[in-house]
Amino acid sequence: MTPVAAAEAAIAADRAFADPALWITRVPDDAFLARARELAAEGAQGRPLWGVPVAIKDNIDVAGLPTTAACPGYAYTPAASAEAVRRLLEAGANILGKTNLDQFATGLVGVRSPYGVPRNVFDPARVPGGSSSGSAVAVAAGIVKVALGTDTAGSGRVPAAFGNIVGLKPTIGSVSAGGMVPACRSIDTISVFARDVAQALAVQRVIAGYHPADPWSRAAPYPFLRCAALPAAARVARIAVGGELAAPYARAAARFDGATVSIDIFLEVARLLYDGPWVAERSAALREVVEGRPEILHPVTRRILEGGLERRTVDAFDAFHLLARARRAAAELFRDCDALLLPTTWPAPTLAEVAADPIGVNSRLGTWTNFANLCDLAAIAVPAGFLADGRPVGVTLLGPAWSEGRLAPLADAIHRLTSAPPPLPADPIGGDETGLFCIGAHMAGLPLNHQITTLGGRFVRTARTQAAYRLYALGARPGLLRGGEGSIAGEGSIAGEGSIAGEVWALPTAAIGALLTQVPPPLGFGAVALDDGPCLGFLAEAAGVAGAEDITALGGWRGFLARG
């Protein structure tokens, strides 16, 4: 669509949805269309979001528009936009307005706002989810294609599940939070809502980047937003889930192989987010308001923030030590699997249920979300179908920091079980990457794959060598030898040369040396002739395979493992 047509469609959809609680500040139609006409006159100029209507959560600054954080007494009008918003505008986006939220992003229900409750698109008697309620509803209702939210405890994931859309929670610090009203500054992140994974990843590519003026910003250790292909043997850990979520969760989990794991330590950490030192961090961010102007706060928000003033430092250190154990547990988990699959949250409660127990219901919604930022994980929430009563449910894939590009194809594959989003193509090997042909334990789902992924590697495709190689079993690893090199292996060998199956992974070129130091003799790197051209790959020294079993006829290492 042209920028003007896209703007007109957004205006029409907003009028049709007609929810006065969706927006806190809505850009007037004339100004929104004027920006669209300017963009149309300028042309695309290579801008990835040229003319795309977007919505911004109203705790993120947009120059010239009020920032309220859903607290009228706190409102101010910034002269400059948040860094993420500035990047959106440079990419050609057209901002339709600032959306409603749980006040000061404190809540997962979406009802803690003096501006009203945005309407759940599936059932107006149920909560929209928060705290990024308005941004999620704007996407779920088809008003905008993408929107910015924030995520501290699950605010970018819970409302995505209730709206049957995608919520991408970036790695902490990968997107600058400068110009965002803080909740828990050390674990806050700006997040993305979209209709599919490809759109969400495209927006994160625009807004991500190191920002030196933001002390919590982090430089990405590798091109983490390049999208991987879907591995043939991804390992996705799952948990035991019962009740009404059991069937949709099991359907999503069945898409991949993986073991059932315990997340007890993560759930223990999750409870600390609203009953530990991070409540005090919320209070510290708004100390002037909590201590000097508490009357301007929503009653539930005030109750939570005043409680943070009473936290003890000695308890904080207990929490920090528990968090260290949880982060170590997460690192060990992701050495053995590519992702962790969880239900995003429980099905949407009613407005009446939240009114009767505002703290308890809110806490329950964060069961599987509260620990992710504390444990420094990336996450993508996707739709996972509907219950019999029509409520949508979602699941979330979590991975270590900087894993968004690897999580994307896994999340997209699950989303396709319930819908048909546009294809999610893998990015080609970049100029600062090197393709590496893996033929053994470094392939997806096998024990040494973590050596590839922790260095920033991403799966590109399956491949085969030309029919000119021999493969040998060297204990836990194979050895690949070009035909005609050295002597034939000893007794039990299978004569002849063949085409060997493997996988091409893209690694940052700077990381190749670090990987090589982890490869013991007689293995090393060399040029391997694939069916579609040469590629760097694992090769063995001829002397190192003497006496080893020749397994060429099995076609590859996976064939050998299947033989048992």
Residue-wise pLDDT tens digits, 419-447: 887 778 899 999 999 999 999 999 999 99
Q: Which residue in 57, 98, 145, 169 is the catalytic one?
A: 57
- CA gap 155, 345 in Å, rounded: 11
Q: Is residue 403 among the annotated active site residues? A: no
Which one of the listed residues 113, 132, 155, 403 is annotated catalytic? 155
pLDDT tier at 485, thresholds 50, 70, 90: low
State residue 497's pLDDT score.
87
What pLDDT sits at residue 321? 96
Taking 60 as the threshold, does the pLDDT of residue 184 lie above it? Answer: yes
Give the CA dihedral 248, 253, 255, 258, nearest 10 degrees. Answer: -170
Fold match between domain 3-415 and domain 433-563: no
The pLDDT mean for the chain works out to 95
* pLDDT (tens digit per residue) in 325-352: 999 999 999 999 999 999 999 999 999 9
Check pLDDT > 80 for residue 496: no
CA proximity to 136, closest of 86, 91, 100, 190: 100
**What is the share, in percent, of the chain residues with pLDDT greater than 90?**
90
Chain centroid to CA 396: how far?
Answer: 8
The structure tokens listed for 234 are 């991804």
Query: What band does 489 get if pLDDT is binned at 50, 70 and 90?
Result: very low
Q: Domain residue spans in the chain?
A: 3-415, 433-563
Tokens of 135: 């941004």
Active site residue 81: no
Looking at domain 3-415, its CATH architecture is Alpha-Beta Complex (3.90)
Q: Could you tell me which residues come within 8 angstroms of residue 83 by beta carbon, excluding any fewer than 6 positions away?
A: 176, 178, 179, 207, 211, 213, 214
Mapped onto helix, strand or coil, the DSSP state of residue 275 is coil
The confidence score (pLDDT) of residue 564 equals 79
CA distances from 352 to 130, 294, 359, 388 (A): 16, 26, 13, 21
Tokens 């294609």 appear where?
145
Residue 332 has phi, psi (to 5 degrees) of -70, -40
Averaged pLDDT, 523-528: 96
For 101-154, what is each residue's pLDDT tens digit?
Answer: 999 999 999 999 999 999 999 999 999 999 999 999 999 999 999 999 999 999
For the cut 50, the answer to whether the pLDDT of residue 494 exceeds it is no
Determine the Cα angle at 39 with ends 33 and 41, to 5°.
Answer: 105
> Could you say which of 131, 191, 363, 403 is catalytic?
131
CATH class belonging to 433-563: alpha beta
> Are the CB atoms for 159 and 151 separated by under 8 Å?
no
Average pLDDT over residues 368-375: 98
Whether 155 is catalytic is yes
